[in-house]
Amino acid sequence: MAKERILVVEDEADIQELIGYNLSKEGYQVRQAETGEEGLSSAQSEPPDLVLLDLMLPGLDGLEVCRRLRQDARTERVPVIMVTAKGEEADVVAGLELGADDYVTKPFSPRVLIARVRSVLRRRQLGAAGEDDALAIHELVIHPGRHEVLVAGAPLELTSTEFRVLHYLARRPGWVFTRYQIVDAVHGHDYPVTERSVDVQIAGLRKKLGAAGKYIETVRGVGYRFSE
């Protein structure tokens, strides 16, 4: 059975070759594009299973490509992994808020890249857990309908907001969320809250979770994720 189709949008020839070689070696079907316009056209005409998208592209940049992919019904659900230069934290945050699923920072090792690709594709195949489904991850069991969390079998008392934050992160392990994505998911777009208040909620959650608090990981300069 053929592996997934991956579209690589990258203008640097050596990096494009490195990515293409390693993905092909793993059995993935690889298409390549050198500009944002070319990548967008390729994705829209034949939607791939995943897009590896460089942010610094000539012409149409990666952020605009990501925005247009998410606005198009043909590509709105195609996972996007951003490829960024070191120090582009603002672009990473912007990309995640536009709907990108993950990112890798140059220079990266091929093994890390392949691991990220596999992880995003696996999450795509499994799909997000249903809103009302009980979720078991690590030693946690989260029951949305009962508003109940068990840690190693013991019930945990959380506020309504803490519960929603935990459930939001745990439903998509490995995904990186910005602080404002968390606010929007938990409270809605117009909720008056600061980045600092999200950090306070996370700190409170970690304290109540005890040893299991380590599963909520800080991604410096970006936000938070629940470990896989």
What's the rounded Cα separation, in Å, for the pair 116 and 208?
A: 30
Predicted pLDDT at 2: 54
Omega within 30 of 0 (cis) for the link into 107: yes
Asked if residue 93 has pLDDT above 80, the reply is: yes
What residues does each domain of the chain span?
5-126, 135-226
Question: What pTM was estimated for this model as a whole?
Answer: 0.70
For 135-226, CATH number out of 1.10.10.10, 3.20.20.150, 3.40.50.11540, 3.40.50.300 equals 1.10.10.10
> How is residue 87 written in tokens?
């120090």
Distances (CA, A) of 114 to 27, 213, 217: 11, 28, 21
> How is residue 140 written in tokens?
């946690």
Asked if residue 41 has pLDDT above 80, the reply is: yes
pLDDT tens for 144-197 read 878 889 999 899 988 878 888 899 899 888 888 888 888 877 765 444 456 677
Q: Where are the alpha helices (DSSP H) in 76-187?
A: 89-98, 110-126, 160-170, 179-187
Distances (CA, A) of 175 to 2, 34, 101, 146, 171: 26, 27, 7, 25, 9
Predicted pLDDT at 134: 81
* Average pLDDT of the residues of the chain: 86
Residue given tokens 């700190």 in the structure block = 203
pLDDT tens for 111-140 read 989 988 988 887 776 554 455 678 888 999
Predicted pLDDT at 46: 94
Class in CATH terms, 5-126: alpha beta
Do the Cβ atoms of 155 and 149 come closer than 8 Å?
Answer: yes
pLDDT band at 15 (very low <50, low <70, confident <90, very high): very high
**Phi, psi dihedrals of residue 42, rounded to the nearest 5°:** -65, -45
User: Which of the two residues, 47 and 164, has the higher pLDDT score?
Assistant: 47
